[in-house]
Amino acid sequence: MTATHCSVRFRLKAKVLAFALWLVFSGAAALSAGCTHVPLDRTRGWFASQTDHITVYTDKPTTHLAAQETLESSYEMYNALLPRVSERRVEVLYVESLFGDPSKMYSTTEDPATAWALGGLPGPGDIGRDGMILSHSRDANIATQRLADLFVAEALPRAPLWLHVGLARYMNTARLDRNNDDRRACFGSAGFAFAASGASRNGNVLIPVQQILSADWRYYNDEGRSWMAYTAYAMVDFLVHGTVFHVKRFPILLQAIREGKTTEQALAIAYPHIPPGDWDRLLTLYTYAAPQAEYSARLGRRGADLCYKIQPQKSAHATPTLAPVSEGTIAAALRNVERTNVFHVRVGWVPTDVAAAMAGHLPAPISRQP
């Protein structure tokens, strides 16, 4: 082989190596900058898996059967507590096969969420226009948490953030009690209590009630998500089960919120026996398992679980029907997901205005208060 041929081959190898290095470093730079890219060539072979109330979009339909059955069962239970006005199906888009690990997509994010309930998916296309669940996880429990978010958002569009977060987490404690064809959806627990010892390790720490009442979405996402979520959940449980008559007061609170009352006004209307300055003391007493005798002396007997009878389950619930979805439909949805770019969001609930702000590369709104 001549020296000229060797030189040409060496230069060619050098160019190939340089190009490969450029690809590696440019890709790493894109990841560190928080960029993602949806592989839109992966739009073939998608299906819509439909049960009575849930439509799951996935390219692996058998993988999500268990989660879909759980979602359908949770839908029935949630609908007993907060009946839906709309007859639209709940849409779920599973994207774990299209994106890498969210925790590796954003170098500045330590603990991104793995599933999100979006008040609406901005952009063209049919999927997610009226709200949807976007999931990067096969965990059915996470999906049911996001389903609760959609129920609260539809039933209480004016709900302040603390009520939305607390009520959704409360709903996710629902259990199904069966006795032959007698089926009941039950919420809450007469034994609600988390011992103070060791609670901080699980994020189960109460923060001042006034702090959750005035919290906005940005605070919830960036700073106090665990503490705020737990305190809001404890607050809702107390509002429903704090005493035997609280369960009759809670619907009054919800109606006041629907009518546009502020949190302070709604609490005063529904719970006039509790002075504004007493919420922290009573919530602490309720949450940290005060002895029943002491609790009864101060507040009265705790309320029982809240149960609703629901219809016998039909076999159709557990038998999804599959229909192919066009490449264009999936491609449009995935472009909107990429544009919205929720993979850095730490909390699961993303209101419509927040999603639109992220899609438009604008600062997220400071508050959702009406």
348 in the same domain as 237: no
Q: Is the pLDDT of residue 144 over 60?
A: yes
Domain of 268 in residue numbering reads as 189-304
Of 95, 87, 85, 139, nearest to 118 by C-alpha is 95
3-state secondary structure 231-246: HHHHHHHHHHHCCCCH
In a domain, 23, yes or no: no
In a domain, 6, yes or no: no
Residue 2 is predicted with a pLDDT of: 47
Q: How confident is the model at residue 305 (pLDDT cuts 50, 70, 90)?
A: confident
323 in the same domain as 257: no
175 forms bridges with which residues in the sheet?
A: 186
In a domain, 169, yes or no: no
194 in the same domain as 108: no
Lowest pLDDT segment from 3-12, 77-86, 250-259, 318-327: 3-12
122 in the same domain as 76: yes
Task: Write the CB contacts of 176 (distance below 8 Å, at least 6 apart in sequence).
Answer: 73, 77, 183, 184, 185, 186
In a domain, 209, yes or no: yes
Task: Specify the number of domains making up the chain.
Answer: 2
Q: Which residue has the higher pLDDT, 266 or 89?
A: 266
289 in the same domain as 317: no
Residue 180 is predicted with a pLDDT of: 74
In a domain, 120, yes or no: yes
296 in the same domain as 197: yes
Q: How crowded is residue 169: how many other Cβ atoms within 10 Å of its Cβ?
A: 21
